[in-house]
Structure 1
Amino acid sequence: MTTMPGWTVRRYQTDGVRGVEVLAPDGTPQFLVTVDFGSTAPGKLGKFFDSLFRDGRVPGDRPCIVTPVDGVPVECAPLKKSPFRRRSHTRTLYLAGREYRYVHRTDRRAMVLRDGEVIARLHRTWQWGRFSRRGTFDDPGFTATTVSPWDRVDEGVVFLYGTVIGPPGREGAIGYFGQELGSGF
């Protein structure tokens, strides 16, 4: 198991663009992740507004734009809009001529597939705070098990999925329904 040492996330802001950058162990930027808040309404009481910049995580399973440092921006959105099924939170990302999928298996586990082949299994660590938000940008909050050999793009995508796109694992329908009931009061 590895916690992917050296990979980091930091805030990014320039000319009205706010988001986060994913940095490789040598300090070079690999991805810029942004969310267009102008086209989406903020969540309940505005608590998710601009949380990508504040917390370093895409808020509430909203679509985001992933821009590789040497590539074309790519949208990364949940598979379906229905929040009640784990498989609705599956995300697909097309980078470097490959298809990467982020599939949640339980409430704490997920896996990353490259062109249909599992390359990593991710497990959320226990130090995570309320609602799966990590306390600082320094703690990725997950461990990864390598299933097949990775290159630099694979390693970057696994880190991107586990830290910025969302923590490994999602609640099922009953857990999600309970959270929604509890947050409405």
Structure 2
Amino acid sequence: MRLVRSTGSPRTPWRNGAGLTRPVAQWPAEAGLDEFRWRVSCAEIAGDAPFSAFPGIRRELLLVHGGPLTLVVDGDRHVVARDQSLGFSGDARVACLVSGGLPAVALNVMTRRGASTAAVAVEPVGRALALTAPDDGDLVVVALEAGTRLGGADEALEPFDAVWCGAGERVALGGSGRVAVVRVQPDRR
């Protein structure tokens, strides 16, 4: 299990320069944007902007702060409210229109076709939440607001701090708030 503090991840420009992103976790850890099998990042959306193209990638955008967003994916309009997600191809032409609070923050989960798949959800922490990584994959849990504490160490997680667990590892959370839960597994399609 690895704790990834949001303050330790540098913000970098999107591939197309239209926004900023902060990496959370990816595999392989040192891979570039054209080599990763999967990647989780927090995208900061400060206004209407086109999304970067990622051919060969499946994308899942989960709005976690601000918005709502309207995503125009190859001409089709989709409204995404907080804690909702939308999956689309990285090959698609995507324009993002912000119709609410700014800046909006979205968890961006990308998986390479033929290599990995991911499931994304938002869960309340409540008094206790125990999660286990898939036996053949990874688990990334991102705190979405203050109040979440990391298991036995009772260490506070700040917004957008993350815990990355490898195959079969468990994480226990307590306190309050909500977390984004990303489960990544090999693509068996």
TM-score (norm 1): 0.32
Higher relative strand content = 2
Decide which structure has greater helix share.
Answer: 1
User: What TM-score do you get using the length of structure 2 for normalisation?
Assistant: 0.32
